[in-house]
Amino acid sequence: MDKKEQALIIRKYQQYLKLEKSLSPRTCEAYLSDLSKLLHHLQTEHIGLSDVTLDDLHRFAAGLHDIGIHPRSQARILSGVKSFFRFLLLEEYRPDDPSELLEGPKLGRKLPEVLAVSEIDAILSAIDMEKAEGQRNRAIVETLYSCGLRVSELCGLKLSDLYFQEGFIRVEGKGSKQRLVPVSGRAVEELTAWLENRSGSWRIKPGFEDFVFLARWGNALSRIMVFHLVKELAARAGITKSISPHTFRHSFATHLLEGGASLRAIQAMLGHESIATTEIYTHIDRHMLRSEIIDHHPRNIKYHKEKGFY
């Protein structure tokens, strides 16, 4: 296999990641960067793609360890390598997959930080409602926690995704896969108040009219903006845990599980997908899923008590 053919294969692999695997540009870039490390190693060893064996890949993996790459980064690189060889097998560039038995380093499981309900209340109380973005920030925190969204899902949320009467919002997750997420009464209140504020006094740049959450200058919020907002509010609330927007997602799932919600319902709510769980998701009734969230999420329980529904 000459250099010209190899370059063509890599271009096709890039298209495969983007079009068939529906990976984001950033993830595609990471896969290709990891692949370049392998290709450099093979070039140094004078090994062609057609001739790579499992032993060659083991030597490559050992080299990653020897130069001090963190085990998690090693695991990610090797995952990208396995993806590439599966592609070569699928496209019949090779009759076999030498990476099939390639194993990454054993990783210890790190438990994520979780906020108590009282800490989330403290973060909400730390928001300065005298500022123009005060109601927006309340809606951001409440939506992250009450719906368990990824920060990218929050930033990409559109007005056309809100179905308050039906009690759902539509979320576009990883790989452009959409799901319906039940939204609590508390979150609806905060979002409604923000949308009234948004339409009344918020400058909106052309092209961003459909975005729910806007930056001060009228375009869509970025992930880093939300990250800094959460850090700032946590500091104001006196919370010393190392948290990020994703902490609200972990807290959402943990509190639901502690409240008695089924694990399957929580997995579906979070939009986690794998070969083992996809079939399970198709059997979860949406109305049952909504009642699970409404009955067990602490924010909903507190809201209903305040409104006298309990």
Instruction: Say if residue 151 is in the same domain as residue 69.
Output: no
Q: Is there a single domain that holds both residue 15 and residue 142?
A: no
For 280, how many CA atoms within 13 A lie in the half-sphere containing its CB?
16
Share the mean pLDDT of the chain. Answer: 84
Q: DSSP readout, 4-42?
A: HHHHHHHHHHHHIIIIIS---HHHHHHHHHHHHHHHHHH
Do 164 and 297 fall into the same domain?
Answer: yes
Residues acting as catalytic residues: 150, 174, 246, 249, 272, 281
Report the CATH number that the domain containing residue 239 is assigned in CATH: 1.10.443.10
Residue 276's pLDDT band (cuts 50, 70, 90): very low
Domain boundary among 73, 90, 107: 90
pLDDT at 275 over 60: no
Look at the chain and report how many structural domains it folds into: 2
Q: Burial level of 242, CB count in 10 A (0-12/13-18/19+)?
A: exposed
Alpha carbons 136 and 235: distance in angstroms, whole number: 19
Residue 107 has pLDDT above 70, yes or no: no
Domain-embedded: residue 107: no
Cβ-contact 300, 293 below 8 angstroms:
yes
145 and 200 co-located in one domain: yes
pLDDT score at 110: 58
User: Does 98 fall in a domain?
Assistant: no
| Token pair in block for residue 130 | 């005298």
Residue where a domain stops, chosen among 90, 108, 135: 90
CB 157 within 8 A of CB 165: no
Specify the CATH number for the domain of residue 49.
1.10.150
**CA neighbor of 136 nearest in space, from 124, 148, 145:** 124
Residues 73 and 144 in one domain: no
**81 and 135 assigned to the same domain:** no
In a domain, 96, yes or no: no
Q: Based on the fold, state whether residues 298 and 153 are members of the same structural domain.
A: yes
- Those residues with Cβ within 8 angstroms of residue 44's Cβ, 6 or more apart along the chain or in another chain: none
Percent of the chain with pLDDT over 90: 45
Give SS3 for 246: helix
Domain residue limits at 161: 117-306
The answer as to whether 106 is a domain residue is no
User: Looking at the structure, do residues 71 and 218 belong to the same domain, yes or no?
Assistant: no
Q: Is residue 112 part of a domain?
A: no
pLDDT at position 111 is 57
289 and 145 within one domain: yes
Q: Is residue 152 part of a domain?
A: yes
Q: Is residue 97 domain-resident?
A: no
Confidence of residue 282 (pLDDT cuts 50, 70, 90): very low
Examine the domain organization and report whether 46 and 138 are in the same domain. Answer: no
Shared-domain flag, residues 38 and 167: no
The pLDDT value given to residue 305: 73
The 10s digit of each residue's pLDDT in 16-74 is 998 888 888 888 888 899 899 999 999 988 998 889 999 999 999 888 888 888 888 88
256 near 293, Cβ under 8 Å?
A: yes
The 10s digit of each residue's pLDDT in 145-190 is 999 899 999 999 999 999 999 999 999 887 778 888 999 999 999 9
Q: Is residue 111 part of a domain?
A: no
> Among residues of the chain, what percentage have pLDDT more than 70?
88
46, 71, 90 - which closes a domain: 90
69 and 131 within one domain: no
222 Cβ contact list (under 8 Å, min separation 6): 155, 215
